[in-house]
Structures are given as structure tokens and as C-alpha cells.
Amino acid sequence: MSIPPRAPGGFPVVGIIGGGQLARMCAGPAAELGVTLAVLAEAPDVSAALVTPFAPVGDHTDVATVREFASHCDVITFDHEHVPAEVIDALLADGVAVHPGPAALLHAQDKLVMRAALTEAGVPCPRWAAASSEQDVIAFADELGWPVVVKTPRGGYDGKGVLLAERIDDVREWLAAAAERGEQLLLEQRVPFVRELSVLLARSPSGQAAAWPVVETVQTDGVCTEVIAPAPGLDAQAASAATVIGLDIAAALEVTGVMAVELFELEDGSVVVNELAMRPHNSGHWSMDGAVTGQFEQHLRAVLDLPLGSPRAREPWTVMGNVLGGEPTDLYPTYRHLMARDPELKVHMYGKSVRPGRKIGHVNVSGSDLDDLRERARHAADYIQGVITE
Amino acid sequence: MSIPPRAPGGFPVVGIIGGGQLARMCAGPAAELGVTLAVLAEAPDVSAALVTPFAPVGDHTDVATVREFASHCDVITFDHEHVPAEVIDALLADGVAVHPGPAALLHAQDKLVMRAALTEAGVPCPRWAAASSEQDVIAFADELGWPVVVKTPRGGYDGKGVLLAERIDDVREWLAAAAERGEQLLLEQRVPFVRELSVLLARSPSGQAAAWPVVETVQTDGVCTEVIAPAPGLDAQAASAATVIGLDIAAALEVTGVMAVELFELEDGSVVVNELAMRPHNSGHWSMDGAVTGQFEQHLRAVLDLPLGSPRAREPWTVMGNVLGGEPTDLYPTYRHLMARDPELKVHMYGKSVRPGRKIGHVNVSGSDLDDLRERARHAADYIQGVITE
């Protein structure tokens, strides 16, 4: 492994483990801040490696590899939540600054741990239980009714690792698989929510925190497809209550860096926590163009323990549309067309090859006419995906 | 020279000759657009090379070096205006797309050629003449009075290559040096301007053009220190007239890419052209944070002949303050302090070592209270430079 180029003036090197689009989107802000980015990449051509001069390829589960990578960096952070605890512990034993730390990270890695910690902290959650047996599931369903939401505590994302069980037969296979892994399953009450919200915030090691406006997220088949910032019609009191939940969680779990708290909004206007992410998050991509400080700049500032930037929205509304892979693979002519159609569109591509359903980019558009913005973001995303052709 | 990594999906490689801060500030937008950036760098540690994976070191005046670099790129553009015409001609002979082209570039390289072309195109200029002898200078001064502005046609920037001559004795040395170089000097009437304005625009090979709001620029000792977007108190008609001048020049000189037209505003509200820059320009740095499309993204779109983005300002005012090198060389603690003082401040550092007077970064701040914004931008720039200490 060579040595990353260091800018003069005492500016630090931020090492990111994992070379996906979240690491990639730190590259622009890092260049602006004068901070050097280093990426431990899965392969030479992953998303972030294409835009980062120092991106050695290495296995993030191998202690020696990660330790060597970290020896070139002033702080270590993550593109994903899959770095094993023993790797992080080895870094901490070396005296490396790691943000978020392993205690915080565990709550994103293990949903049972997360539920227990949130309940302990008094944060509103759906009713939940751990299940090792059919009896556990039946007891839960007897109390709260079918269907029951069943989750694997580890490794799920974008709707994977989640099962909506209508009857006990649906759960048997998952129970057996969990038992084989030596795990329990997480059971959750199916909450009759009216929509999904997300609180995005950053917290620094010094304990400073800053939250962006609460957004509405729209999922299609378990994958986030649209984010509206701020959440339409959310009154100030409800927005404030949701933000306080986010800040409480960040403080209770000692989160450092950017964190997302995904919420279900219930009919009475109250909220319960759905999921946590201990990193920049899809629900914060709007901030790259719509806020004074975007989430990737803020993440860098937070993990470096720099003062946080203003999360103020620059325009009344920003709508983000996720671009998913579809039939077309030759994307460049497609986005040329979109740029011609809508000069206000901010197109973000991740340098990833197209696979159906894969997140390969997103678009942001800001202004004052929300219906118009939603139509335009949706059109752009659908057009790149090939769902529509004009 | 190795080969730049190419993103899948048909996205092109933009090659920039020169690795200064203008090339560096293209890196973030390129990553967002999914476009690969390649930089022909002066040294491994120049500003842009620190943030670009493919940044071979090579001499921009050497035809073979530049041809090899260009063979890896889909279009060639520039960080500066110093690439010799014969190098560009060699690229064109190879069929390489070069933007701006040599004809346009010549007008930024040679101020006598620029004055002649603008006068030919009917664009308002200060009175001017070419001078080879003392008689030429005296004749010019007899008509327009002393002092006379004397410029070397080539190589000047940031106040270098400009002399305010009070009498013929002041010009003798420059006349002799010009004669030795086989050049004439450019004489210009000293215009009684009330302030300086800049029109920044982009024009694509297809002929599409987009202009940002006209800005006011403030120079200190010949160096731009502050930019106010839009220019305060400039009425719509005057702004429109200035913009039309910019668009006319871009069309007349067949400029491609971003271009700046620096203007003097006279007491009667009319304007004359001071200088041209055939590239992203200091007077456009505000757009990185203050406009829907920043100048570096727009430059990439223009040279790729992609549809241009909206130049709309996102906020009522944006003020840019240039950060010049001063006594302090350990800048990181300094900017940490500034971030704490002003969470809305956008700090841009160029990864350059400090030399007194060297442009090492800039700050942007946007909002609705112009006086407040100016104070904050000024404070930040002065604080980093070490002119003030609190």
C-alpha cells in the first residue's frame, strides 16, 4: 500500500472503509474542504475508487489490511455498516480515531440490539420481541394479530431481510435459518402508518449536533424512490418532536458522523422508529443541492470533529428521485436528453454499471412548486431507468 | 502514461491541461456528473493532482506529451491560457476536440488581438492603441492625457503586466523589453470607472449559451478580493446590456466553455470591456454555492457539448471572499475556528502551500442581508490570511 498525498497546511486524511457511492459522494466536499480522502476499496473500479487518488483495494474484514490502511489516515469512517467489530477493536487498540465507534455501529448492525437500546432510552418503537421459536412468534401474534413483521437482525437493507408473515407457516424457514446462524429473529408489530419520515442529523465527537429539516421518504417495493424535503404538511411541533427523537438517539447511542432515523408517522401524528443508519443516508441526498451544508460535507466535518455546518434548506422544496438500473445500459445519451429537458435538474451518477433495481444515481430538483418538482424528479428517474421513453 | 479509469455507461473523459485550482474545482462536479476527469499536471502535488486519480505529470508545452495525454481523453480543456498554439494545432490535427479552440483562446492570450477583435465586433472598449515606440505613446497621451494604462499583450494576470504610466519616462523600460521580445505594447485609456463588473457565461460547441447574473468584483492591489452576486443596485436594463455584451463576445469569438468578461462601469451607467478570460474565473466562484449550476459543472457540460444547466441564483445574495496567503501556514486550526464562528460559511481550500499573496482558497456565504454577508466573507478571508487574529 502506498501513501496518500497529503495537502500542505495541516489538513487531515479521512479514511473511508468501502468504496460505494456514499464514499464517492464525499470526494467533492473533501476537495472543497482541502481534506484528503482515502478509500479502502473492494475493487479498483468501484464507485469511489474512480474519483479518489488513494483507493487501495483490500478486504474490510481482514484486520491487517484495515490496520495498514488506517495507519495512513487521521480518522476512519465507513461507507457501509459491515465492518466486523473485531476489526474496529483492533483499530481502537492502535489508537486510531474511528467514527462512528463500534458501540454506535452495533445498533445499525444488529436490529435486536437497536430495539433494546431504543426501548431502554424511552424512544417510541413499534411493539417488538425477539423470537427463537414458533411459540415466540405465535405468542407475539396472539397479542398483536397477524400479519407480523419478521426481520433478520443483521445484514438486511432495502427491503431484504424483511418478511411480512401472514401465518406461522411463513416464518418456519426463517426460524430454522436463524437457528442455524445462532441468531434470533426480530418480530415487529405491523404499524398502520400514514407515511414514512426521516430525520437526518450529524453529531460530532465533541457532542455538537445539527439536524436537517425532517423529510418524507417514499418507498417502492421496499426501496426508497423519492424524498421530499421538508416533509409536506408536517407541522412545526411534529417536526420538532421527530427531530428531538433523532437527537436523543444520537446522544444515547453516542453516534458520531451523519445518522438517519427512519420513522413511521401514525394517523394521530405521532411517530415510531423504523430503522437507524449510522452513516450518510439515501434520505439525505437532497441536501447535496438543497441545503447550505450537504450530508457528505457534514459527515466529514463531524468525523473530523470540526464545527458542523448549517443544515438550512436553500429553497422552499427539494425533491430527490433515486435512479435505479433498468434495461438501458448506455446512460450517457439518456442523461444528455434529461439535461436538455430540465436545466434545473441536478443529476448525480455513481459510476456504477447497470443492474436492474441497483441504485446507480439520483436526481435533485429545487424550487417552490412542489407538484411540479415531484413530476420532474420522477420523470428523470423513470427516464434513465427506461420505464418511460419520452 | 497509464490509462484513466473509465466509468461504465458511456460516460466520457475530460482532460484538463494544467493542475491548478480551476482544474481542482472541476473534480467534485465531474464526480457528480459521472464524468471522469484527467489532469495533465505540472507536478505530482499540484492542487488538482491531489484530488484526481489520473493526473500524469507532463510539460504542457511539449507536443508529444500533450498528444499522448489527449489520446486518453474525449475532450481537452484548460486550467490556464498558456498552452502554445502549436500544441493545440497538433491536437486538432489528430482530430481531438479542444474547447475553447485556439482561435478563441488567442483572445485571452494576446490582449492586442483581443482589443482588435472586440473593436471589430462593435463591443465597447476603452480607447486603445498598439505602441512600438515613444512616439506612439506620446501621440496616444497627447490625445487622451496622462496617465496611460500600459499592458504587455501576453502573460499578464492579477495586476502583473500592467503599468500606470504618468509620463513617457515610465514606459521606456517596457518599450525596450517589448522590442526585445518582438512585441508591441497595448496602450489603454485610463477609464474613470465607478466600479468593476463581471459577466460570466458558458457557451457550448452547439452554440447554446447561458449567463449567470452580472456580479460586482472588488480588486485590491490588482487582485480580486471580493465578488458580490448579483451586482448591487445594477438595474435590470444595465444588467441585460452587460449580459448581451458578454453573449456577443462569446458568439463573435466562438468561445466554448465558461468565459468571463470583466467590465468597467462608468458614471453614466455604460460599460466598457476591461479583460477576457476563456475559462472558469475567480468572479464565478460564488456560483459553486450560490447558483443552481456552478461554473465548474457548467464548464464540463459546455466542453462536452451537453445541455447547459440553469445559472439561477438560489439565494438573494452570495458574497465570495478570496483567501490569500499571509503569515500563517498552518491553516487547518484557522479554518476550524472560522467554521465555529459561522456555520453558514462555505470554505474552499485549494490544497496549496502558503505564499504571501497567493490565492489559496475562497469563502462563499449566501443570504438576504448583504452588508452582513460582506462583513462575514471579509472577516473569514482576513482571518485565514492572518490580517486579523480574532
C-alpha cell at A196: 414514512
Chain B residues close to A301, C-beta within 8 Å: 339
Q: Locate the chain B residue with the closest alpha carbon to A345.
A: B309
In CATH terms, the fold of domain B127-189 is Dna Ligase; domain 1 (3.30.1490)
Q: Locate the chain B residue with the closest alpha carbon to A384.
A: B9
Chain B residues close to A307, C-beta within 8 Å: 336, 339-340, 343
CATH code at B13-98: 3.40.50.20
Please give the pLDDT value at position B385: 87
Strand order in the sheet with A75-78: A36-40, A13-17, A75-78
| Span(s) in chain A for CATH 3.30.470.20 | 193-385
Report percent pLDDT > 70 for chain A. 99
Query: Of A32, A332, A344, which has the smallest distance from its Cβ to B348's Cβ?
Result: A32
Q: Which residue type is seen at A281?
A: H
pLDDT tens digits, one per residue of A219-276:
988 889 999 999 999 999 999 999 999 999 999 999 999 999 999 999 999 999 999 9
Question: Is A33 within 8 Å of B349 when comparing Cβ atoms?
Answer: yes
Residue of A11, A26, A292 for testing the chain B interface, max B β-carbons within 10 Å = A292
Chain B residues close to A44, C-beta within 8 Å: 5
Question: Is B339 within 8 Å of A27 when comparing Cβ atoms?
Answer: no
Q: How confident is the model at residue A77 (pLDDT cuts 50, 70, 90)?
A: very high
Chain B residues close to A344, C-beta within 8 Å: 292, 309-310, 312
Is there a contact between A13 and A6 (Cβ–Cβ < 8 Å)?
yes
Task: Report the C-alpha gap between B21 and B15 in whole angstroms.
Answer: 15
What one-character-per-residue DSSP string does A196-255 give? EEEEEEEE-TT--EEEPPPEEEEEETTEEEEEEESPTT--HHHHHHHHHHHHHHHHHTT-
Chain A residues close to B352, C-beta within 8 Å: 8
- Class of A193-385 per CATH? alpha beta
Nearest CA to B155 out of B183, B179, B136 is that of B183
Chain pair A-B, CB pairs under 8 angstroms: 181
pLDDT at A355 over 80: yes
Q: What are phi and psi of A170, to 5 degrees?
A: -65, -20
Q: Locate the chain B residue with the closest alpha carbon to A365.
A: B292
Q: How confident is the model at residue A157 (pLDDT cuts 50, 70, 90)?
A: low
What one-character-per-residue DSSP string does B152-219 give? -SSS--TTTTEEEESSGGGGHHHHHHHHHHT-PEEEEE---EEEEEEEEEEE-TT--EEEPPPEEEEE
Chain B residues close to A340, C-beta within 8 Å: 307
pLDDT at A159 over 80: no
Chain A residues close to B52, C-beta within 8 Å: 53
Three-class DSSP labels, B217-258: EEEECCEEEEEEECCCCCCHHHHHHHHHHHHHHHHHCCCCEE
Confirm whether residue A189 is marked as ligand binding.
yes
Q: Locate the chain B residue with the closest alpha carbon to A297.
A: B346
Residue of A21, A24, A51 for testing the chain B interface, max B β-carbons within 10 Å = A51
Confirm whether residue B364 is marked as ligand binding.
no
| Mean of per-residue pLDDT scores for chain A | 95
Confirm whether residue A6 is marked as ligand binding.
no
Please give the pLDDT value at position B6: 84
How many Cβ atoms from other residues are within 10 Å of residue A387's Cβ?
13
Question: Is A27 within 8 Å of B28 when comparing Cβ atoms?
Answer: yes
Chain B residues close to A314, C-beta within 8 Å: 314-315, 366
Query: Of B308, B315, B361, which has the smallest distance from its Cβ to A314's Cβ?
Result: B315
Please give the pLDDT value at position B5: 79
| Span(s) in chain A for CATH 3.40.50.20 | 13-98
Query: Of B8, B31, B309, which has the smallest distance from its Cβ to A28's Cβ?
Result: B31
Please give the pLDDT value at position A87: 96
Confirm whether residue B173 is marked as ligand binding.
no
Question: Is B361 within 8 Å of A34 when comparing Cβ atoms?
Answer: yes
Residue of B292, B341, B355 for testing the chain A interface, max A β-carbons within 10 Å = B292
In sequence order, the 6+-apart residues with CB closer than 8 A to the CB of B107 are: B113, B114, B117, B253, B276, B278
Confirm whether residue A190 is marked as ligand binding.
yes
Report percent pLDDT > 90 for chain A. 88
Confirm whether residue B190 is marked as ligand binding.
yes
Q: How far is CA A136 from CA A117, A125, A130, A161, A264, in A?
A: 21, 19, 8, 19, 25
Task: Report the C-alpha gap between B240 and B238 in whole angstroms.
Answer: 5
C-alpha cell at B251: 458568439
Please give the pLDDT value at position A15: 98
Query: Of B307, B314, B315, which has the smallest distance from its Cβ to A339's Cβ?
Result: B307
Query: Of A29, A314, A333, which has the smallest distance from its Cβ to B10's Cβ?
Result: A333
Q: Locate the chain A residue with the closest alpha carbon to B352.
A: A8
Please give the pLDDT value at position B300: 98
Confirm whether residue A292 is marked as ligand binding.
no
Query: Of A51, A293, A344, which has the smallest distance from its Cβ to B31's Cβ?
Result: A51
C-alpha cell at B351: 490544497
Q: Locate the chain B residue with the closest alpha carbon to A342.
A: B309
Query: Of A31, A34, A52, which has the smallest distance from its Cβ to B28's Cβ?
Result: A31
Please give the pLDDT value at position B156: 63
Please give the pLDDT value at position B4: 81
Confirm whether residue B191 is marked as ligand binding.
yes
Burial category of B95 from C-beta neighbours within 10 Å (exposed 0-12, middle 13-18, buried 19 and up): exposed
Q: How far is CA B2 from CA A351, B23, B93, in A?
A: 20, 20, 23
Q: How confident is the model at residue A109 (pLDDT cuts 50, 70, 90)?
A: confident
pLDDT at A196 over 70: yes
Chain A residues close to B345, C-beta within 8 Å: 309
Q: pLDDT 10s per residue in chain B (390 long)?
A: 778 878 888 999 999 999 999 999 999 999 999 999 999 999 999 999 999 999 999 999 999 999 999 999 999 999 998 899 999 999 999 999 999 999 899 998 899 999 999 999 999 999 999 999 999 999 999 999 999 999 999 876 556 789 999 999 999 999 999 999 999 999 999 999 999 999 999 999 999 999 999 999 999 888 899 999 999 999 999 999 999 999 999 999 999 999 999 999 999 999 999 999 999 999 999 999 999 999 999 999 999 999 999 999 999 999 999 999 988 888 998 889 999 999 999 999 999 999 999 999 999 999 999 999 999 999 999 998 888 887
Chain B residues close to A50, C-beta within 8 Å: 5, 7, 31, 36, 53
Q: What are phi and psi of A160, to 5 degrees?
A: -80, 145
Q: How confident is the model at residue A154 (pLDDT cuts 50, 70, 90)?
A: confident
| Confidence check on the interface: ipTM exceeds 0.90, yes or no | yes
pLDDT tens digits, one per residue of A81-99:
889 999 999 999 999 999 9
Q: Locate the chain B residue with the closest alpha carbon to A353.
A: B8
Residue of A2, A33, A50, A323 for testing the chain B interface, max B β-carbons within 10 Å = A50
Question: Is A343 within 8 Å of B307 when comparing Cβ atoms?
Answer: yes
Q: Locate the chain B residue with the closest alpha carbon to A307.
A: B340
Taking the CA of residue B167 and the nearest CA in chain A, the distance in Å comes to: 44
Please give the pLDDT value at position B157: 59
Task: Report the C-alpha gap between A386 and B11 in whole angstroms.
Answer: 17
Confirm whether residue B151 is marked as ligand binding.
yes
Instruction: Detail the DSSP E strand segments found in chain B.
Output: 13-17, 36-40, 75-78, 128-131, 148-151, 162-165, 185-189, 193-203, 209-211, 215-220, 223-229, 257-266, 271-277, 317-324, 346-349, 359-367
In sequence order, the 6+-apart residues with CB closer than 8 A to the CB of B16 are: B23, B26, B37, B38, B39, B40, B48, B76, B77, B78, B79
Query: Of B307, B347, B354, which has the smallest distance from its Cβ to A336's Cβ?
Result: B307
